[in-house]
């Protein structure tokens, strides 16, 4: 929908009255290396990675890294067939997938995806129903196909007691002992590879309460612990008001602390890889499940994905990989809808990730912006921002989550800067940015007025 001319006057002229309150950039946090950002790439239903329309969509996202074959599918994966192992304990949800909906996902398919995107690959190895020799053969085959073997993850969510694979390990110590042997052999074959293991203490029972400590006791020099951050919609989303960003902020930081990553890693050099994250839209009360899930298709969810991506990045300097769930498939999680309807639509999750991934292109460093208004701190769940840079250029990302106009003082960056602003009613359903107003131009002064629920990218 075309924007009204008067609506964008504030962007172009950046004019403010004497009554306007200006938000100042109080400080920039110390620069950190930009983590790798990308997607969990579970693609067992929908459309093949050889599909040209899907590839065109994915290429525009500009993912830096993709996780193959995905999450729980990895614990039951046969890389030679590009489908699940023939195993008596194969979960029913995998064994019951109809032939018509199946998508082959072997290494040749992955090769097609990598050739189009230029992305790195995080290989999730099957430590549950495959042998070490078999998985090393897979990595060698991938290398033969021109897919670099740089990142490896050993199994998926084996610390969850409701995971069918958990019974094989029971404790972090049992899992760590097996991983220690696998890591030794894998690094003999691929000396430069970085390897992550399942992380996260759980309250479910005594076997997993000290999971991190037990794993690190068995492999003290492991490269990374994996964290999956799913914020339950049942706790953070209301039917009438939608997503509560203040609760998202508090819950995310609380989960990171509760699962013991800071305490258990201590002074070790161990990194944290977030290989799945999103709002958890599936665990809801039946009476309002469908209504709340509709919020996942709104501009508000795009803002939420940007916010969660930012918060995960900031929660610890150890975070070196951030992978959104999921690249394709079901619309409540996907960046691109391919199942059950093959629309190829870029959904709110994808809109947010496309903004983030395109903004960090060619950048190497990032600094969190701290804002204040009338000498009072602005919370991230109101307005947040980052400066991304390399040796020659930079970009500023600022997101106004509130329902009010916000005037931002850009004095320290102002230089007739090109900008791009995305804006929509937060409750508006959106696909492919069709219901999002987009304005491009150059700053006319040192201040910029952002409307409610807006995202600004400013070249510096």
Same-domain pairing of 274 and 242? yes
Q: In this model, does residue 19 exceed pLDDT 50?
A: no
Task: Identify the domain boundary among 359, 376, 392.
Answer: 359
Binned at pLDDT 50, 70 and 90, residue 411 comes out as confident
Same-domain pairing of 379 and 353? no
pLDDT value at residue 194 = 99
Separation CA 77–CA 72 (nearest Å) = 9
Of 135-144, 187-196, 413-422, minimum mean pLDDT range:
413-422
Q: Which tens digit of pLDDT belongs to each residue from 284-329?
A: 888 889 999 999 999 999 999 999 999 999 999 999 999 999 999 9
Same-domain pairing of 159 and 191? yes
Same-domain pairing of 278 and 244? yes
What angle, rounded to 10 degrees, do the helices at 172-189 and 211-218 form? 40
The residue that leads in pLDDT, 289 or 164, is 289
Dmax (CA) for the chain in angstroms is 72
Host domain of residue 257: 35-359
Same-domain pairing of 330 and 432? no
Beta bridge partners of 222: none
Other beta carbons less than 10 A from residue 440's beta carbon? 10
Same-domain pairing of 41 and 144? yes
Write the DSSP string, 53-64. Answer: HHHHHHHHH--S
Please report, for residues 163, 182, 359, 386, the alpha-carbon distance to residue 447 in angstroms, rounded to integers and kept in the order given. 52, 55, 21, 17
18: buried, middle or exposed (CB in 10 Å: 19+, 13-18, 0-12)? exposed
Q: Which tens digit of pLDDT belongs to each residue from 233-244?
A: 999 999 989 999
Task: Identify the domain boundary among 303, 332, 359.
Answer: 359
Tokens, residue 438: 């987009």
Same-domain pairing of 342 and 404? no
Q: Which tens digit of pLDDT belongs to each residue from 25-43?
A: 988 889 999 999 999 999 9
Beta bridge partners of 8: none
pLDDT value at residue 27 = 82
CATH number at residue 217: 3.20.20.80
What lies within 8 Å, CB to CB, of 137 at 6+ separation is none
pLDDT value at residue 9 = 42
The residue that leads in pLDDT, 374 or 191, is 191
Separation CA 385–CA 364 (nearest Å) = 16
Q: What percent of the chain has pLDDT over 90?
A: 86
Q: For 436-451, what is the mean pLDDT? A: 94
Closest CA to 121 of 139, 103, 144: 139
Tokens, residue 38: 């990308």
Tokens, residue 243: 């997503």
pLDDT value at residue 4 = 35
Highest mean pLDDT among 4-18, 174-188, 251-265, 405-419: 174-188
Beta bridge partners of 40: 67
pLDDT value at residue 390 = 97
pLDDT value at residue 233 = 93
Same-domain pairing of 300 and 335? yes
Same-domain pairing of 354 and 379? no
Same-domain pairing of 42 and 24? no
Same-domain pairing of 295 and 402? no
Please report, for residues 73, 205, 285, the alpha-carbon distance to residue 84 in angstroms, rounded to integers and kept in the order given. 8, 30, 31
User: What is the residue whose two structure tokens read 């030794």?
Assistant: 184
Same-domain pairing of 169 and 208? yes
Q: In this model, does residue 185 exceed pLDDT 50?
A: yes
Task: Identify the domain boundary among 359, 391, 420.
Answer: 359
CATH number at residue 437: 2.60.40.1180
Q: What percent of the chain has pLDDT over 70?
A: 96
Separation CA 349–CA 325 (nearest Å) = 9
What lies within 8 Å, CB to CB, of 346 at 6+ separation is 57, 60, 335, 336, 354, 431, 432, 433
pLDDT value at residue 413 = 86
Q: How many domains does the chain have?
A: 2
Q: For 358-370, what is the mean pLDDT? A: 97
Question: Torsion-angle region of residue 56: left (phi > 0), alpha (psi -120 to 50) or beta?
Answer: alpha
pLDDT value at residue 20 = 60
Q: In this model, does residue 256 exceed pLDDT 70?
A: yes
Q: In this model, does residue 170 exceed pLDDT 90?
A: no
């Amino acid at each position: 929908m075309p924007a009204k001319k008067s609506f964008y006057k504030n962007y172009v002229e950046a004019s403010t009255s004497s009554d306007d309150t200006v938000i100042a950039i109080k400080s920039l946090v110390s620069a950190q290396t930009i983590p790798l950002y990308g997607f969990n790439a579970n693609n067992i239903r929908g459309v093949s990675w050889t599909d040209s329309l899907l590839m065109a969509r994915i290429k525009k996202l500009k993912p830096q890294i993709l996780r193959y074959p995905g999450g729980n599918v990895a614990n039951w994966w046969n890389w030679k067939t590009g489908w699940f192992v023939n195993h008596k304990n194969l979960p029913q949800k995998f064994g019951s997938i109809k032939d018509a909906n199946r998508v082959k996902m072997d290494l040749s398919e992955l090769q097609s995806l990598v050739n189009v995107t230029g992305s790195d690959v995080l290989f999730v190895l099957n430590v549950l129903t495959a042998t070490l020799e078999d998985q090393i053969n897979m990595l060698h085959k991938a290398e033969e196909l021109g897919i670099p073997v740089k990142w490896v993850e050993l199994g998926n969510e084996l610390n969850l007691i409701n995971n069918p694979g958990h019974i094989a390990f029971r404790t972090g110590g049992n899992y760590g002992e097996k991983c220690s042997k696998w890591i030794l052999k894998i690094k003999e074959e691929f000396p430069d590879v970085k390897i992550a293991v399942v992380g996260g203490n759980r309250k479910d029972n005594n076997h997993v309460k000290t999971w991190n400590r037990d794993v690190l006791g068995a492999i003290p020099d492991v490269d990374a612990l994996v964290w999956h951050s799913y914020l339950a919609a049942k706790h953070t989303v209301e039917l009438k008001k939608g997503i509560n960003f203040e609760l998202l902020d508090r819950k995310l930081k609380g989960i990171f602390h509760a699962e013991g990553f800071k305490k258990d890693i201590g002074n070790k050099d161990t990194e944290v890889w977030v290989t799945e994250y999103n709002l958890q839209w599936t665990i809801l009360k039946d009476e309002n499940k469908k209504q709340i899930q509709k919020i996942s298709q709104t501009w508000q969810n795009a803002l939420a994905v940007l916010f969660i991506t930012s918060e995960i990045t900031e929660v610890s300097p150890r975070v070196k990989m951030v992978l959104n769930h999921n690249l394709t498939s079901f619309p409540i999680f996907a960046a691109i809808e391919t199942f059950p309807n093959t629309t190829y639509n870029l959904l709110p999750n994808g809109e947010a990730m496309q903004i983030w991934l395109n903004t960090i292109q060619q950048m190497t460093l990032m600094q969190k912006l701290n804002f204040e208004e009338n000498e009072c701190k602005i919370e991230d769940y109101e307005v947040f921002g980052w400066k991304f840079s390399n040796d020659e250029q930079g970009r500023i990302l600022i997101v106004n989550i509130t329902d009010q106009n916000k005037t931002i003082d850009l004095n320290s960056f102002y230089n007739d800067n090109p900008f791009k602003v995305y804006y929509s009613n937060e409750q508006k359903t959106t696909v492919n940015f069709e219901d999002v107003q987009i304005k491009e131009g150059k700053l006319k002064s040192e201040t910029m007025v952002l409307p409610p629920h807006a995202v600004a990218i400013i070249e510096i």
